Amino acid sequence: MLNLTDLRFFQAVAAAPSLAAAARLLNVTPPAVTQRLAQIEQKLQLKLADRGPAGLRLTAEGGLLAERTASILADLDGLSEELAERRGAIAGALRVVAPFGYGRLKVAPVLAAFALEHPELAPSLTLTEDPRGAMRTDLWDVLIHVGRLPDLGVVQQKLAPNRRLLCASPSYASRNGLPKTPNDLPVHRIGVVREDQADVTLWSLSNSNGDTKLLRIHPSFESNDGEVIRGWAMRGLGIIERSEWSVSDDLREERLLPVLPDWRLPDADVVALMNPRSVRSARIEAFVSHLKTQLS
C-alpha cells in the first residue's frame, strides 16, 4: 500500500518533464529517483511511467495516480491548514515562484521575514523566467510576475507599480551624448535582456502630450540575465531598458543616468497569481497581503 511519502514523491515525478528534472526538484540523484519509482511500481504491480529519449511520459495508470494524488494531497494540506487556523496559526507549505532577479532581491527577503513570523510555515521559493511552465506543474501556491500576462484563468492581484526606464552610464553619456528624442535611439548602442519569449526589440514610447513612437531596436549587446545587462551598462556599453526596481538605486546614486525622461515605456507592474487550488487559503491570503505591504 502506498504511503504519504510515496504520494508526495510521485507528485513531483509526475510534474517533471524528465527523471533528471524530478531529481533536481527532489534534491536527489537521478538513480535514486529511478529506484524509488521502480519500488512504487512494484508495490502496485503497475507500470506508471515510460522513460524514453523524449522524456518522461505517464501511462494511463500513472495519469490516474497523479490526478488522484493531487486531489488527496490538496485535501490533506487543506485539512492541516484548517486545523491550524482554528488555533490561530498559519502553517503548512507555501510554494512561491518568482523571476530570478526580482525573486532574489525582493521576494526572498520578504518570504524569509514572513516565515520567521510564522514558524509552522514551510516556505519554498523557485526562481524561473517561464511562468507558464511553472503553472503547468501545479506545484505552486503563489506565482509572482513582473510585466503583463495574458488572461491565464487564475486570480491575479497587483502587488506594486513598476515603471520601465531607459538609462545609460555617465561614461557612455560623456563619450556619445544622450538621445534628445526617440528618433535618435537608432544611432546609439542599445542592450536588451532576452528573458522569455517577448519581443524585446520592439519599443513603444509615449509622452505626456499623447505622442507615441514605435521603434524597432537593433541591439548592440544582449544577455538572458538582467544583472549582466545592468552591469554592462554601468561599464559604459550603451543604453538599456530596465525595470524601476532594478535600477532605482543606480539612478539615485548617479551610477546610471535617465535617458529620454519625458518619454515612457509601458509599465510592467508586479502581480501575484494564486493557484486555484489554494486561492482561499488563509496562509496564501496572509502572504499576498504581506507581499503587497512590503513591495508597494
- The string of pLDDT tens digits covering residues 228-287 is 999 999 999 999 999 999 999 999 999 999 999 999 999 999 999 988 876 567 888 899
Is residue 168 domain-shared with residue 238, that is, in the same domain? yes
CATH number at residue 110: 3.40.190.10
**How many structural domains is the chain composed of?**
3
Distance set, CA 284 to CA 87, 91, 97 (Å): 17, 10, 13
- The pLDDT of residue 36 is above 80: yes
Interstrand relation of 121-127 and 212-216 (parallel, antiparallel or unpaired)? unpaired
Is residue 22 domain-shared with residue 104, that is, in the same domain? no
Structural domain of residue 13, as residue ranges?
4-68
Is residue 190 domain-shared with residue 279, that is, in the same domain? no
* Closest alpha carbon to 257 in 168, 195, 185: 168
Per-residue pLDDT, 14: 84
Query: Is 184 contained in some domain?
Result: yes
77-86, 95-104, 197-206, 280-289, range with greatest mean pLDDT: 95-104
How far, in Å, CA of 219 to CA of 92, rounded? 46
**Which amino acid, one-letter code, is at 197?**
Q
* Closest alpha carbon to 25 in 113, 158, 128: 128
Interstrand relation of 92-98 and 121-127 (parallel, antiparallel or unpaired)? parallel
